Amino acid sequence: KDKFTVSWTIYVGWMPWDYAQQKGIVDKWAKKYGIEIDLVQVNDYIESINQYTAGKFDGCLMTNMDALTIPAAGGVDSTALIMGDFSNGNDGIILKGKKNLADIKGQDVNLVELSVSHYLLARGLESVGLSERDVKVVNTSDADIVAAYSSNDVTALVPWNPQLSEIMTKKDANLVFDSSKIPGEIIDMLVINTEILKDNPKLAKALTGAWFEVMSLMKKGDTKALTFMAEASGTDLAGYKSQLKSTKMFYDPKEAVEFADSSALPNTMKKVSEFSFNHGLLGEGAPDAGFIGMEFPNGKRFGDPKNIKLRFIDTYVKMAAEGKL
Amino acid sequence: MKRFMNLKPSKVTAFFLGLLPFIIAGIFYIVASDLRLAENPNDKLLPSMASFSEAIDRMALTPSKRTGEILFIEDTSASLHRLGLGILISAVLAMLIGIPLGFIPFVRAGFSPFVAAFSMVPPMAILPILFIVFGMGEIAKVALIVIGVTPLIVRDLQQRVSEIPAEQFIKAQTLGGSSWSIVIRVILPQIFPRLLDSVRLTLGTAWIFLISAEAISATEGLGYRIFLVRRYMSMDVILPYVAWITFLAFLFDYLLKKLTYKLFPWYSAGKENA
Amino acid sequence: MKRFMNLKPSKVTAFFLGLLPFIIAGIFYIVASDLRLAENPNDKLLPSMASFSEAIDRMALTPSKRTGEILFIEDTSASLHRLGLGILISAVLAMLIGIPLGFIPFVRAGFSPFVAAFSMVPPMAILPILFIVFGMGEIAKVALIVIGVTPLIVRDLQQRVSEIPAEQFIKAQTLGGSSWSIVIRVILPQIFPRLLDSVRLTLGTAWIFLISAEAISATEGLGYRIFLVRRYMSMDVILPYVAWITFLAFLFDYLLKKLTYKLFPWYSAGKENA
Amino acid sequence: MSLITIKNLWKEYGDNVVLERLNLNIEEGEFCTLVGPSGCGKTTFLKMLLGQETPTKGTFLLDGKPFPDEPSIERGIVFQRYSVFEHLSVLGNVLLSMELKESKFFGRLFGKKRKEAKEKAMQMLESVGLGDAAHKYPSELSGGMQQRLSIAQSLVIKPKILLLDEPFGALDPGIRADMHTLILDLWKRNNLTVIMVTHDLHESFYLGSRLLVFDKVRYDEQAPNAYGARITYDIPVGNEKGAILTKVDKSRKKETNNYDN
Amino acid sequence: MSLITIKNLWKEYGDNVVLERLNLNIEEGEFCTLVGPSGCGKTTFLKMLLGQETPTKGTFLLDGKPFPDEPSIERGIVFQRYSVFEHLSVLGNVLLSMELKESKFFGRLFGKKRKEAKEKAMQMLESVGLGDAAHKYPSELSGGMQQRLSIAQSLVIKPKILLLDEPFGALDPGIRADMHTLILDLWKRNNLTVIMVTHDLHESFYLGSRLLVFDKVRYDEQAPNAYGARITYDIPVGNEKGAILTKVDKSRKKETNNYDN
Ligand SMILES: Nc1ncnc2c1ncn2[C@@H]1O[C@H](COP(=O)(O)OP(=O)(O)OP(=O)(O)O)[C@@H](O)[C@H]1O
Ligand SMILES: Nc1ncnc2c1ncn2[C@@H]1O[C@H](COP(=O)(O)OP(=O)(O)OP(=O)(O)O)[C@@H](O)[C@H]1O
Ligand SMILES: [Mg+2]
Ligand SMILES: [Mg+2]
């Protein structure tokens, strides 16, 4: 197999893929390894992951939590090839009028249910000694959450960017908690089907190479590249830069390797796994949070070793760090 | 040998013929599902019959751990409540607008172009404005149905009113009718069964808007559940829900048709057999 | 004083009366927008006329920095292409299914229940399956339109075919027609203008499906653009796009109507003036 | 003074002169039948009497006052079709007449008034021979019964003038004959003024007390619409006037043929 | 052998006996008119001749062979309405007959064949007096012209038998007379066998060579559907048979009245 498709969705940390594709960087690297890679833009994030899970795509961009609850829980053994960034303020809890997170008690909270926003809410509530029972979650589509804020009966929301910064420009909007308070727990990553990855290391090499080429451009602050990404995501350079500010991008492959190898990652995934289990996301058959096994670099593991469906690797990022691609 | 067009199946044959495509579709599904599951036993796209019955048991027979209620019943009643209210309001509005529009030349001249233009606006695209006006609660969901469906019914009723033979209006005038008494004694009762027909034909559209509204913001409802479980691709829940929605739509269609002929025995012109 | 129902506006009066609601709606908008902007000059919900003209300038007159093309034109042509293709396929399919369904008793017995049930399935709810079957490319978007619209047209055509007086089929048989030649010489030409009418009436639904499809997977198109800027609530782009969609829908409605009467001068029964 | 006074009346639609220089007086209690070639303006004339159309010029008086310019309760009408209400039973149709007349706002009568109206309606139905069909819907009636119903509907509120536009045109000959007996009977008993358009010359002679023939007297090949129809015959007729019929019939030989006789 | 042979024929719909014990032979070239009270089974009889219905029992032969059980090219039909094709011009309607007959697959003729067919169609149209209207659509024609067209459509492919179900019932008397002249002329010129249902006794006598009267001879108050109609009169008629008409007319006095005469 030498033709691969990877789906991506418009999001601040994933716009580099669009740039890489449009500017021929992906093609260049693919050619180098004698393969073809097609990046397909899907606007509906969930649909993109669903299609990957159903086998339509070889790879897909998603967060750590969705990787666990959708493909892994759906029995599709997946590997996080590149952890490109983590949310460092890109997700937040907003209260209308009120200034403290504790004031959220008893309110309706509008968010995308069962998403990282939901996870962030759970973590936030934990930090002030509340639990999910103290609020009522209202599932609200991410596309409409900005408009929802304008409505009088909406008082608490958990959006991500760019909706987050959009809402913050409005009257009475107070950011009472955000992902910078739980750094490294909401990770945006490129996930590849493990089987395909095993058979085609070329794919991993080409994608990693292309990614870090764009990263080096961004690190330099290449205005042209950034403007390109800004426009594609429907905003302008300033807007895009402000979104980047709350995103911890691993511009340097070394940083990425470090993050993958850290002991924080298994801990994070344990929390995510527990959250998911409590919300029934690991499937009805799951007896406990460790039902789905995960594997981390350096042989660390979490959960059922017989049911390993999500793997985090640093192999290719390391190659990039060592300039071996 | 008779021409194909002249051959008529007996009642029994017709029944089994009608069943056939459903059976074929069922078999088709089972085979496709088996093939996918053989490859990946955890595949969620086309679940096996066993997973369906498990999911149905979970959703429709066992009370939810979190709320203690049966989710399926909760979802159905929430959705039907919204749908019913939306349809009811649409029907009443459509009568109030459609009859003058079809009957009074001055009203028609004034509002017909506006209503026609309004009916072309895709409501999904102006959601933010709707949220401001109607809030995010139950009203918004009902309002989306009303905005989506009313113009369709209005245009149909306007058309039907203008199809009532002019002779009837003249005759009623010679009997001493005023514009108003002609509306309530001649037009309204004649248009009523047509309204039911029209509601029936727009039920499909109403469902689409209901599901969209519930996908945008809700805490229960059939559309809510479908979009929620889409997050982990639980087709074992989605497909029974879709089947249930289809069945409900079918049932309402049937009941409305029966009701129309029961209430209005004289009504048969313009009936839709399809 | 004449009864209200007997008063008829002159042509000029009718024209200005028809314009009035649009003007009132416009004034209403400007006032509401001014009020909101006075409170918060950054409010994006109801932009001022100046923001509109800026946005229109940006989208429709200045080439995009990214691709060098004019976004508005690109979006329009992409959407119209999908819409056109979807409608065309739906129309052809609907003819192929609707005519036998209305005409051949055996086919009706076999497929009528299935088609009726199928037409009740909300396509939005089974999107994952549709995308698996049709891929994520252009085909999927067109397919969503086709799946959403075809059953509606089929049911209408089936109804119309069964409304052709039985006398005509008998007569054609006495002239030596076979089932097939009756289809192509008697039914097809009579049903064709009705098909155009039916397409016209389902255009609104087709737009809804197009916009939904583009919001899920596309890189250009009117629905895509609205989806993209919706996250920033750029009503200055959304509202002109909505107005443009409304205008296009209106235009197609008008053109199709004209075309129908031009192509089929004998066609007037069952015409819909509304 | 005559009930209807018409002097030098013209009716034009744009360039199309339909009727020209009509002069006519109709007295109370007359039964006029109108005949004439298709398109000569008979229906247009009836529409003016009804108030649906207004004359282009000329004097047009009802009881010495200008004609009301919209349909009103003094002038009942029976069309060839569509003049009964599908959604009401036979009795309901006749009741409706009284309800619309007497209850301006609700268009309904209640209690004692309704009961009285019902009795009156039943009497009316008996007199047109629909007593047994009172609870049927119009769709269950034959064409002739529907026309009877339409007549009953108009007569029950006692209009001054009854206008009929080819009321029996769609009926079978046998049934038509029954209708003739009926309408003559009603005319005599109620002291009605009747104006009836028909296509059928026999009908026009057999019925009525006065026959009006509309026709164009001037005709221009180049501009067929330049001249309108006028009243070419205005003759007293009636049941006994068989002789005239034969005479007129002969002069129509070209159009009809001996079967018609 | 007769063209149509009917022996002891019954037609029932469930319990409802519509026709019973019919015996009849119709020879080639006859012009039979069928009359009878409404609902007595005239249309049902015509439907059986057409192949739309099958008899319940009895012998029913065409040219000595059992009747084909669906409509076919030997038997042309003209209904009271709806038997021309709205979407085709007058010429197109007549052409269609030949096209359906000769081109089984496309239902269309091309080139020389089409030209010939067109000429034939024009001749046919001339002979029914529609030459000038060849390029009009049916909706532009009067009722009488539409019926002429329907007749032309059937005759152009020379059926053995022409069936007519109240073809002139919806026409005005004057126009009806013209149609009589036409149909008699076509019958004589084309050596047709014609079977025509009518409501009009005059028509049935004036036209045709043979009059068949359908009526119930037995009647049971308790079960009105228990007995079917039979042929109560079978008499030779024709243009010159005025005497019979008068006789029959008198016996019908109850139903019609002197106007009808
Ligand atoms: N509303 C109208 N506008 C313009 N012309 C009209 C209108 N109504 C009738 N006409 C014309 O007036 C003429 C007379 O029509 P009218 O219907 O009165 O004839 P008629 O004698 O009743 O004919 P018929 O015997 O066929 O019913 C016709 O030439 C017709 O075209
Ligand atoms: N398809 C059918 N099924 C059951 N009964 C039928 C059917 N068609 C006709 N009949 C019955 O057969 C009888 C004869 O009907 P038919 O139409 O032949 O009468 P007709 O002599 O043509 O009457 P008309 O003069 O009113 O046209 C009627 O009692 C009718 O109810
Ligand atoms: Mg007229
Ligand atoms: Mg009959």
For the ranges B140-144, E199-203, E230-234, the maximum mean pLDDT occurs at B140-144
Residue E46: give its domain's CATH number: 3.40.50.300
What is the structure's pLDDT at D254?
38
Amino acid found at C269: A
Q: Give residue for tokens 């003559």.
A: D184
Domain boundary among D107, D137, D158: D158
Ligand 2 atom with the shortest distance to the CA of E199: 25
Domain around D221: 1-74+159-261
Determine, yes or no, domain membership for D80.
no
**Same-domain check for residues E138 and E11:** no
Across the interface, whether the CB atoms of E69 and B3 are under 8 A apart is answered no
Q: Is E18 in the pocket of ligand 2 (CB under 6 A)?
A: yes
Q: Given phi > 0 = left and psi -120 to 50 = alpha, else beta, which region is E82?
A: left
Query: What per-residue confidence (pLDDT) applies to E248?
Result: 46
Q: At D190, which helix (H) or strand (E)?
A: helix D173-190
Q: At what angle do helices C105-120 and C71-103 cross, to 10 degrees?
A: 140
E39 CB under 6 A from ligand 2? Answer: yes
d(CA E154, CA E78): 8
Min distance B8 CA to chain E CA atoms (Å)? 13
Q: Are residues C8 and B105, on separate chains, in Cβ contact within 8 Å?
A: yes
Q: Which ligand is nearest to the CA of D143?
A: 2
Q: Based on the structure, what is the number of domains in chain E?
A: 2
> What pLDDT sits at residue D172?
64
Question: Residue E170 has what pLDDT?
Answer: 67
User: In Å, what is the CA distance from D61 to each residue of B61, D211, E99?
Assistant: 81, 21, 61
Residues with CB under 5 A from ligand 3 (ion): D 43
Q: Assign C73 a pLDDT band (cuts: 50, 70, 90).
A: very high
Residue that terminates a domain, selected from D134, D158, D182: D158
Residue D149: the pLDDT is: 92
Does one domain contain both E135 and E248? no
Domain covering B59-273 assigned CATH 3.40.50.20 in the classification: no
Average pLDDT for chain D: 82
D28 CA to middle of ligand 4, Å? 43
Q: What's residue E238's pLDDT?
A: 67
Q: Within this chain, do residues E151 and E165 fall inside the same structural domain, yes or no?
A: no
Do D47 and D173 lie in a common domain?
yes
Same domain? For D170 and D239 the reply is yes
Residue D21 falls in which region: left (phi positive, over 0), alpha (psi -120 to 50) or beta? left
For chain C, the average pLDDT equals 88
- Write the single-letter amino acid at A37: I
For residue D20 the two structure tokens come to 């020209």
Residues D122 and D219 in one domain: no
Query: Which residues, listed in sequence order, are joined to residue E34 by a DSSP beta bridge?
Result: E197, E212
Structural contact between residues D16 and D227, judged by C-beta atoms closer than 8 angstroms = no
Domain membership of residue D7 (yes or no) is yes
What number is the average pLDDT over the span E11-19? 87
DSSP percent split of chain B into helix, strand, coil, nearest 5: 80, 0, 20
How many other CB atoms are found less than 10 A from the CB of residue D168?
26
Size of interface A-B (CB pairs under 8 A): 89
**Chain C residue with the nearest C-alpha to that of B252:** C120
pLDDT at E177: 78
Distance CA B123, CA B103 (A): 28
Confidence of residue D125 (pLDDT cuts 50, 70, 90): very high
Confidence at residue A171, expressed as pLDDT on a 0 to 100 scale:
82
Q: Residues with Cβ < 8 Å from D84, sequence gap 6 or more?
A: D93, D138, D146, D149, D150, D153
Chain B residues lying within 8 Å of D47, measured CB to CB: none
Q: Is residue E81 part of a domain?
A: no
- What is the distance between the alpha carbons of residues B149 and B213, in angstroms, rounded to a whole number? 13
Nearest to A42 among C45, C136, C231 (CB): C136
Q: Using CA atoms, how far apart are residues E76 and C174, in angstroms rounded to an integer?
A: 6
Instruction: Give yes or no: residues E58 and E165 share one domain.
Output: yes
Q: Is the CB of E210 under 6 A from ligand 2?
A: no
Return the residue matching tokens 């390993």: A308
D7 and D49 in a single domain? The answer is: yes
Residue B2 contacts E where some CB pair is shorter than 8 Å: yes
Residue D241 pLDDT level (bands cut at 50, 70, 90): very low
Say yes or no: CB of residue D39 within 6 Å of ligand 1.
yes
E186 shares its domain with E200:
yes
| Cα(B38)–Cα(B164) distance, integer angstroms | 62
Distance CA E185, CA E194 (A): 12
Burial classification of residue D256, based on how many CB atoms lie within 10 Å of its CB (0-12 exposed, 13-18 middle, 19 or more buried):
middle
H/E segment holding residue C101: helix C71-103
Cross-strand bridge partners of residue E235:
E211
What is the per-residue pLDDT across C177-199, written as a single tens digit (0 to 9) for each? 999 999 999 999 999 998 998 89
* Domain stops at, among D133, D158, D183: D158
pLDDT, chain B, mean: 88
Phi and psi dihedrals of A272, rounded to 5?
-60, -40
Distances (CA, A) of B56 to A74, A75, B60, B79, B164: 19, 21, 5, 18, 50
Gap between the Cα atoms of C49 and E105, Å rounded: 63
Please give the residue that has the higher pLDDT: either C66 or D166: D166
D189 found inside a domain: yes
Q: Which of A181, A315, A228, A239 is nearest to A20 (CA)?
A: A228
- Is the ipTM above a cut-off of 0.85? no
Return the pLDDT at E67: 87
Confidence of residue D239 (pLDDT cuts 50, 70, 90): low
C-alpha distances out from residue E130 to B94, E83, E123, Å: 49, 16, 10
pLDDT string in tens for chain A (325-residue length): 889 999 999 999 999 999 999 999 999 999 999 999 999 988 888 889 988 998 889 999 999 999 999 999 888 999 999 999 999 999 999 999 899 999 999 999 999 999 999 999 999 999 999 998 999 999 998 888 888 888 888 999 999 988 998 899 888 899 999 999 999 999 999 999 999 999 999 999 999 999 999 999 999 989 999 999 998 888 889 999 999 999 999 999 999 999 999 989 999 999 999 999 988 888 777 888 889 999 999 888 898 999 999 999 999 999 999 988 8
**Any atom of ligand 2 within 6 Å of the Cβ of E38:** yes
| Sheet containing D229-236: order of strands | D65-66, D57-62, D4-13, D16-26, D229-236, D210-216, D31-35, D193-197, D161-165, D75-78
Q: Kindly report the CA angle at A44 between A72 and B51, in degrees rounded to 5?
A: 45
One domain for residues E164 and E148: no
Q: Is D111 exposed, middle or buried (0-12, 13-18, 19+ CB in 10 A)?
A: exposed
Identify whether residues D138 and D191 lie together within a single domain: no
Ligand 2 atom closest to the Cα of residue E40 is 21
Within this chain, do residues E43 and E166 fall inside the same structural domain, yes or no?
yes
Q: Model confidence over E41-70: pLDDT tens digits?
A: 888 999 999 988 889 988 888 888 888 888
- Name residues with Cβ closer than 5 Å to ligand 4, which is an ion: E 43
User: What confidence score (pLDDT) does residue D258 get?
Assistant: 36
Touching subunits for chain C (3+ Cβ pairs under 8 A):
A, B, D, E
Helices and strands in chain A: count of H runs, count of E runs: 14, 14
Ligand 2, residue E53: give the atom nearest the CA: 1
Greater confidence (E223 vs E136) lies with E136
State the pLDDT at residue E172.
Answer: 63
Examine chains A and E and say if they touch (3+ CB pairs below 8 A): no
Neighbour count for residue A99 (Cβ, 10 Å)? 10
Q: Is A20 on the interface with B (CB under 8 A)?
A: no
d(CA E216, CA A39): 84
Closest ligand relative to E45 C-alpha: 2
Buried b (16+ CB within 10 A) or exposed e, C80-113: eebbebbbebbbebbbebbbbbbbbebbbbbbbb
What are chain A's partners, defined as 3 or more CB pairs within 8 angstroms?
B, C
Please give the single-letter amino acid code of residue D19. Answer: L
Window 6-45 of C: residues touching D by CB (8 A cutoff) are 6
Report the nearest-CA residue for atom 10 of ligand 2.
Answer: E13
* Residue-level pLDDT at E250: 45
The domain locations on chain B are 10-46, 59-273
Give the integer Cα–Cα distance in Å for B161 and B188.
Answer: 9
